[in-house]
Amino acid sequence: MRSRSLFQDSDLSTDSGATSDSEIDVENEDSDEDAPVTASNFAARSRALDAQAAREAQLDEEELQMAAQANADEFADIEDMDEDEEEEREEEKKAGGPEVHVVQKRMRECVRILKRARSEFVEQLVLDIASYYGYNDFLAVKLFQLFPISEAIEFFDANEVPRPVTIRTNTLRTRRRDLAQALINRGVNLEPIGKWTNVGLQVFESSVPIGATPEYLSGHYMLQAASSFLPVIALSPQPHERVLDMASSPGGKTTHMAALMQNTGIIFANDANKARTKSLTANVHRLGCKNVVVCSYDGREFPKVMGGLIVCYSTRHAAGRASSVRMQASKLTRDFTLLSHLQKQLILCAIDSVSPGSKAGGYLVYSTCAVTVDENEAVVDYALRKRPNVRLVDTGLEFGRPGFTSYRGKSFHTSVNLTRRFYPHVHNMDGFFVAKFKVTKRAKQAKEEDEEKHETVMDEDVPSQGVRFDEKEDKEYIQGFSEAKRRRLKARGLRAPARHQFARASGTEDPV
């Protein structure tokens, strides 16, 4: 909005030298604008400021109308040009053919355009996108290659628009209907997010700060992005289960899982950044979650720290969120390589932390707030290759686009299409990726357990009367069985007794 002096505006508004009383007051107040405000000039200066604001608003409105009219005229000119070309061609056909010089001019114009390859136009478009939206060239190319050309522009435009404000009802303290009615009574305009969630509400406008209402302070709801609902819905934790959230701060997804589990079982809410656990702990207490244990470990240490989990949720924070232009402005090839490598380490550690022998089965949800293939499909495909005992299953999400099974010459596992992608220009939420794994027993471990069961059955079938064994001959086999049992205990993360204790228990220890 341009700044103008009151004297200049009053001159522009005069007609043939005629000056109104209000304009004289404006000029007088403009000349005395540095003078102190007193009771005598207070009203006049107030009128002058109101008049100036009204004139500037009127000028801004006129400029917007002129810009809109210019855009409309531009599109109209393009349509008129298309219509004129069609009319010219029809007239040429009626006249028996076009004139020679017109055809020659048209041919030269087509040749001039065709001299440049399509890649040159695409390259120029990407450079313009980087300049216009504030990305660096590398990131602009990285995101541009994810979509067709027309859709890529929609994606970049959607990143410039703020996402809707959404809240999640804490079912440990209230119901969504009661919460909605209480907020409506406080002057909040809201409605349910969609049919895919029964706890989410979208806030359009509010006459009170949505993060400082008595309901918020009482823990009736959590300010949470709609995309953060998705991984918890996919994981669907049940009561009395053991769950690990590897990157839980600030606690939106952790408290969501606690509500689904009805404050039963146990949730290990981990965050590598110890400073972030303060907000996590505060939200856990505010929302009344009693089954949460807050800890701060590097996610890659979790197979050693703890195992035997029924379900596991692995994610990362917005270190590379593609929906934020400012956060991605300095990302380069090395950053994406390091992030992808870290994600591969975390997902393998998460898989190893899950116990496949539980009644409900072991499940893992991997999600990121990024849209690049390097951190999503490439990581999932890596986990499938490195851990043959896992497989992808349906996420249970009714919307979202399937993941890529091939991308720019790279082929991924065919089951990667079970993953789901979410985009701001399609789903009106932050860019997000969700994949769900089913963790089963490893082939070697399952084979050893089957053999152990089979040996137990055979021992029960053999009658004990009149049968004697040569202890010296069987000593080697019994010791080998004990050693295998010790290895299985270590693989499960349990403490195995010393070898001499196994020998004493099995009766194979040499007498002293």
- Tens-place pLDDT, residues 465-506: 444 445 555 565 556 656 777 777 777 666 667 666 645 554
Lowest mean pLDDT among 29-33, 241-245, 396-400: 29-33
pLDDT at 114: 78
First to last CA, the chain: 98
Higher pLDDT pick, 52 / 42: 52
Higher pLDDT pick, 426 / 333: 426
CA distance 185 to 207: 11
Instruction: Using the predicted structure, report yes or no on whether residue 43 has a pLDDT greater than 80.
Output: no
Helix (H, G, I), strand (E, B) or coil at 4: coil
User: How many residues appear in the chain?
Assistant: 512
Q: What is the DSSP letter of 36?
A: P
Average pLDDT over residues 186-212: 91
Question: Which phi-psi region, left, alpha or beta, contains residue 210 (left: φ > 0; alpha: ψ -120 to 50)?
Answer: alpha
Per-residue pLDDT of 5-31, as tens digits, reads 333 444 434 444 444 444 444 445 444
pLDDT at 314: 65
CA distance 322 to 371: 6
Q: Which of 380, 510, 346, 358 is nearest to 441 (CA)?
A: 358
pLDDT at 381: 94
369 is catalytic: yes
pLDDT at 492: 67
Structure-token match 């934790």, residue found: 237
Average pLDDT over residues 241-245: 90
Q: Which of 408, 327, 410, 311 is nearest to 369 (CA)?
A: 327
Options 289, 312, 349, 369, the catalytic residue: 369
Lowest mean pLDDT among 48-62, 374-388, 418-432, 465-479: 465-479
Of 5-9, 77-81, 138-142, 222-226, the range with the highest mean pLDDT is 222-226
Lowest mean pLDDT among 369-378, 394-403, 416-425, 462-471: 462-471
Average pLDDT over residues 311-319: 57
CA distance 164 to 208: 17
pLDDT at 85: 67
Instruction: Using the predicted structure, report yes or no on whether residue 255 has a pLDDT greater than 90.
Output: yes
Average pLDDT over residues 366-393: 92
